[in-house]
Amino acid sequence: VAEAYYDYSLTVDSTSSNKGIYLTSGLSRINNYTLNSLYKLANDGVNNTMSARLTSTAKGTDADTGTTVTAGFDFDATLGALTISNAANNYRGKTLVSGGTVQYGDSNAFGKSNLVELAAGTVVDVNGYTQTGANAVGGLILGNGASLLLKGGKYEVTGAVNSTGAIHLGLNGELTLSGGGSITGTGTLIGSGSIKLNGAPGTTLTISGANTGLTAAITIDADNTASLDNFKVLGTGNISQSGLHI
């Protein structure tokens, strides 16, 4: 269960025959306050942009100072692409993309998600924006045929990755992986830019399948391991190791 908030704003019409200043209201925030739940937001074929702030605090509390709740959102773009466009999103539960293409309209669109999951065949288009630092996602799951398109954006995952889909860096995209996990399949890492493995000592990322379309620079921090099943896994970019081991 979630709650909706509406705010008033002034709009100026200087072009039509009804010129003037008008008071309008609009959806400003959706707060999912139900622990461990997902609130579904869908493109209904008419409304394709969600610009309201998405939060997860206790019922009736402030978006920034209220008690946080682990609750998230299910984005369903089956009927058409859905754009999420509020950089102040700060919900702390799971993000599920259950259908179609979901596009970032601003940085940090997925809040402070503890897990981002793309169902089979779905697409997340980061559109050159960022999801890093305090808004880094806690874990990442890509189902078969799913795609994460950075398009030159920056994405950081602090937990485990479990991917049988594809991650496209685009031109000069930056992907930071700190929690290990596995990336499986031919052509599942594509593009230029950089990939950094910077987990705690002993963290292992297992990658299998040739990635001949990957030209990104790869950095592997001290005591991190990239476990590879063939020499084409990390593409043709430069590989820098400050410690262990390929």
CA distance 88 to 82: 18
169-225: pLDDT as tens digits: 999 999 999 999 999 999 999 999 999 999 999 999 999 999 999 999 999 998 999
Asked whether the beta carbons of 115 and 95 are under 8 A apart, the reply is yes
Asked whether the beta carbons of 131 and 154 are under 8 A apart, the reply is yes
Comparing C-alpha atoms, which of 221, 214, 216 is closest to residue 166?
214
The bridge status of strand 154-157 relative to strand 94-104 is unpaired
Q: 3-class SS at 20?
A: strand
36-49: pLDDT as tens digits: 999 999 998 888 99
CA distance 46 to 242: 51
Would you say the pTM of this structure is higher than 0.85?
A: yes
- The predicted pLDDT at position 243 comes to 55
